[in-house]
A and B are shown apart, each in its own frame.
Chain A
Amino acid sequence: MVFYILRRLLFLPLALFGVSLLVFTMIGFLSPYQRLATFINNPERLKGENVDKLISQYGLDDPIFIQYLRWLKNVFRGNLGWSYVGKGPVFEVILERFPYTLELTIFSVIPIIFLGISLGVISALHHNRVVDHALRIFAVVGWSFPDFVFGLMVLMVFYSALGWFPPGNLSIWAETVVKSPVFRHITGMLTFDALLNGRLDIFWDALRHLLGPIFTLTYVELAFILRITRSSMLEVLQRDYVRTARAKGLSEKVVINKHARRNALIPVATVSGQTVVGLLAGTVIVETIFNRTGLGSFMALAAQQLDYASIMGGTLFFGLILILGNLCVDVSYAFIDPRVRLE
């Protein structure tokens, strides 16, 4: 077990090195002037005739591997350049926005996994009956819905027609409270900060603004978990130990809850981990549509405005998160399913 984790940890720096190389290769497609923007922390210095001098000063015409090492050194110092979109150093902007994305992910994962598993179990228990077919259609349609199409429809119906799920992060009155010095920022996540400050009204307001994105992500992402749960449950229900449990005369409830479902959930745990990691990255569209602050909308905005420093820094950060996330997922399998350890 320890050996397994250690082996995975050994690969971590290698993977990070690879991602940095990939990101740098992409930077290589940019002209020296565009690349300059990924180095300089102060926008004033990028004006006028300074530029040519700066290009040679920063060695942007040096051999590529020297440039790479220099860039890497800057990255390690947390110097990722200046973000026009975020109006600050890229590194700080990312750290400030990441909690918003994390918050949305945490709140979306709960209904996705809970509903996905329960509907999947229901579907399996009604195999090939009306409920099963209805749920399969529900799932495959959700699976086929692009998140921006569904998000736009949610906005149209639930916000502009019904007035339920407002876009943005907070209402104006709550925004003023949050920005005032009285409000302490601890986690950077609005709902948790509101609770820690003892402001239930702000907590409720922040949660209300999260409902639209949560609803959208839930429907679009639910199908995956539902399908895996269903097929895994169907497989487990045919196993000998389930038949034994039935033969022993155990009640159907005990057979399903204790014998079948627990074993059926092992592959679901695998997929759930991937869903969490995917959600963290998949918020680009949803945050943009619902006009929320976050890493995803930051990336979209930076790409639209050709803010190269932000794009590169954001990509590197996403890569880091994904690699660490996948590592956690893999290690947790080893805990859940003892068979993984033996491989």
Chain B
Amino acid sequence: MRTDDLIKALDADARSTAMPLGSAWWIGAGVATVIAAVVFWLAIGPRTDIATAMQTMRFLAKFVFTTALAVSAFALIRALSTPGASTSRAAARMIAAPLLVAVAVVLELFAVPSTEWGTRLIGSNLVICLTFIPLIGIGPLAVFLAVLRYGAPTRPVLAGTVAGLLAGGLAATFYAAHCFDDSPLFVATWYTIAIAILAALGALGARLFVRW
């Protein structure tokens, strides 16, 4: 088939339309949030003392970290799934969540005597954290990989990793409402590991499924 012949065929198919990728991302984000919410309520639900917890800085700070991660990852993944789009600004903003956590860790180290650092770091929910963040995030991750496939990421593995970070940020936002360990020392350690698991799964999933 000559290239001119191919162009004839493509032109004859010009009228077929597909949803713009930008809309697909918003729908994907909505579906992923619903999935995460359902899994969260069915599996663990919020902690019983949530009303009192909401008045503490440490509890609220967790949501700042996790939504910062989700929001910045969402912007980056949209850029990564569009060929030729500039990603540098969105990539630079990914520093926000780690930076906020780092500041909180430093403040915590000043606020709490060093004898208590160990207990706060280990917490009491470590296994639950490492189980449920990936569990809540796995459905959203599948949704994000599907949208990536619909898009055209020229760096699929990187985009898959960011999909994992996005799913991790979303899952951790829900999980944070359940967890009793509010210390930034706990969050910086175990949330990070749990989200990294999703990021690794995202990279692997993209390598296997995101081809175009």
Do A and B pair up? The answer is no
Residues of A within 8 A of B (CB): none
Residues of B within 8 A of A (CB): none
